Every structure is written in structure tokens, then in C-alpha cells.
């Protein structure tokens, strides 16, 4: 039996997001590298814990690298899965702002990039 608890799944998702950030950083031009480099902890922070200033920094980062925006959104969607409180809510898919097909398509786009 394989057991995947919340802590380890979220840790793996964060590691994948950071890997994506590093790949993009290596490929970025000189002026953009610094912005991407400084965003590590910002990307790993939960959306609901962002200050207004951090939120603005994230939006600026996503303009520089839309792939990082997709990767961050995927991380947050996976986090939302673990915030579902009951079976009915989980079955309704109400916690996903996009369809499952769109989620998988965006995942594939990020994975293809890396």
C-alpha cells in the first residue's frame, strides 16, 4: 500500500515549482534572472498568506514568466484539494476554478517546458 499524506505531497509540489523556477531562471536573460531568483520564497508562500505588496510582486513576476504563473496556480490548486472539508464538496469540484481538462492541459504545458 502506498500512502501519500498532505505534507509530503505539498513538499513535492513545492519542489517541482522550485525546479521550474530554476530552469526558467537559467534560461532567462540577464535583467530577468534577478527577478526570478528573488522569487523563490514568494512562490512557495501560500496565496492566502501573501501581503498586498507580495501579491503585486507575484503579478509582476508572472508578466516576466507566464509559465511560472501557471506553475504557481497548479501548486495552489493542489493545495486547495487538501482544504476540502467534506465528501460532497470534493465531489462537486467547486474548489477548482477551472475544469479538470484545463488543469491537465496547464500541467502538461508546464511539464513540457521543463
Is the confidence at residue 81, as pLDDT, over 90? Answer: no
19-61 residue pLDDT tens: 999 999 999 888 888 899 999 999 999 999 999 999 999 999 9
pLDDT for 111: 66
Q: Between residues 36 and 2, which one has the greater pLDDT?
A: 36
Whole-prediction pTM = 0.78
pLDDT for 11: 94
List Cα–Cα distances, 37 to 33, 103, 104, in angstroms: 6, 26, 27
Phi, psi for residue 8 in degrees, rounded to 5: -70, -35
Contacts for 8-11 with beta carbons within 8 Å, 24 or more apart?
9/78, 9/82, 10/78, 10/79, 10/82
Is the confidence at residue 63, as pLDDT, over 70? Answer: yes
pLDDT for 71: 92
Amino acid at each position: 500500500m502506498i500512502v501519500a499524506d498532505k505534507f509530503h505531497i505539498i513538499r513535492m509540489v513545492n519542489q517541482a515549482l522550485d525546479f521550474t523556477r530554476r530552469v526558467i531562471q537559467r534560461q532567462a536573460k540577464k535583467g530577468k534572472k534577478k527577478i526570478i531568483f528573488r522569487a523563490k520564497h514568494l512562490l512557495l508562500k501560500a496565496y492566502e498568506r501573501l501581503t498586498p505588496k507580495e501579491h503585486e510582486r507575484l503579478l509582476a513576476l508572472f508578466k516576466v514568466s507566464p509559465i511560472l504563473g501557471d506553475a504557481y496556480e497548479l501548486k495552489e490548486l493542489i493545495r486547495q484539494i487538501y482544504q476540502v472539508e467534506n465528501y460532497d464538496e470534493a465531489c462537486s469540484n467547486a474548489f477548482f476554478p477551472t475544469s479538470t481538462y484545463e488543469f491537465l492541459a496547464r500541467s502538461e504545458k508546464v511539464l513540457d517546458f521543463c
